[in-house]
Amino acid sequence: MTGAPATGQWLDSRDGQRWWFDSGALAFDFAYTGGFDGPPEWEHWHGPKDVERWWRERFDAEVAVDGAAYRSARELRRAIARAAMAASQGLPVAEDDAAVIDRWAAMPDLPPQLGTPVAPTSDRLLAVIGRDAVAALGRPERVRACSADDCGLVYLDTSRAGSRTWCSMRRCGNRHKIRRLRARRAAEHTKEN
């Protein structure tokens, strides 16, 4: 494993479209496996095997997730989602959520090693996520919700200028552009007549 895994994932929307959403933070991707309130199709985890798959996909790690580890992952996921929602609304993170995140952030993660690498475990990977969540939520001014009224997806704006407006330019950004174009054409049409 070298460096932090890339962020972003495919989401399924109500209209049956798959689209790429880069939340800007590994911890937010983790939370977007089903930690946020949303339609049932947002739930990607239906059992420990799904979490094992997530670790495999993101960290190239083969770790066993038992019932307790599954509950821990879900609890951390929920806390990160709630904290991200709060931050995106300019609200402080609730104490309970901060406590869950901080507890994992304080645990041993996967330290870089010169010799034999540390074997990943579910707990160590949750600690990696906890630390990433602290890093992301430690920049609350960069935690924002998509500007589309009917969207509200939350992301960490990692753009240099801090000017990210949409969950996805290809999705909400485009819809906005099309609406603006239609409105302008309608206005021009009214002027002409």
Q: How many CA atoms lie within 13 A of 67 on its CB side?
A: 0
Rounded Cα distance, 189 and 163, in Å:
33
Q: Smallest distance, Å, CB 65 to Zn ion?
A: 31
Verify binding: residue 151, Zn ion, rule CB under 5 A: yes
Residue 172 engages Zn ion in binding (rule: CB under 5 A): yes
* Angle at alpha carbon of residue 9, lines to 107 and 30, rounded to 5°: 20
d(CA 48, CA 70): 5
C-beta of residue 154 within 8 angstroms of C-beta of residue 28:
yes
Q: Which is nearer to Zn ion, 29 or 52 (CB)?
A: 29
User: Among 4-12, 46-54, 169-177, 181-189, which window interacts with Zn ion (CB under 5 A)?
Assistant: 169-177
Instruction: Give the helix ranges, DSSP H, for the chain.
Output: 26-31, 48-59, 67-88, 95-105, 122-137, 174-192
Nearer to Zn ion, 31 or 148 (CB): 148
Out of 76, 146, 154, 156, point to the residue binding Zn ion (CB under 5 A): 146
- CB nearer Zn ion, residue 59 or residue 166: 166
Give the binding range for Zn ion (CB under 5 A) out of 5-13, 49-57, 80-88, 146-154. Answer: 146-154
| Neighbouring residues of 178: CB distance < 8 A, sequence distance ≥ 6 | none
Residue placing its CB nearer to Zn ion in the complex, 93 or 148:
148
Based on its alpha-carbon atoms, the radius of gyration of the chain, rounded to whole angstroms, reads: 19
Q: Which of 31, 73, 84, 167 binds Zn ion (CB under 5 A)?
A: 167
Cβ-based nearer residue to Zn ion, 74 or 176: 176
Stretch near Zn ion under the rule CB under 5 A, chosen from 75-83, 116-124, 129-137, 167-175: 167-175
Indicate the DSSP class of residue 114: S
Single residue of 61, 148, 154, 156 touching Zn ion by CB under 5 A:
148
Chain residues in the site for Zn ion (CB under 5 A): 146, 148, 151, 153, 167, 172
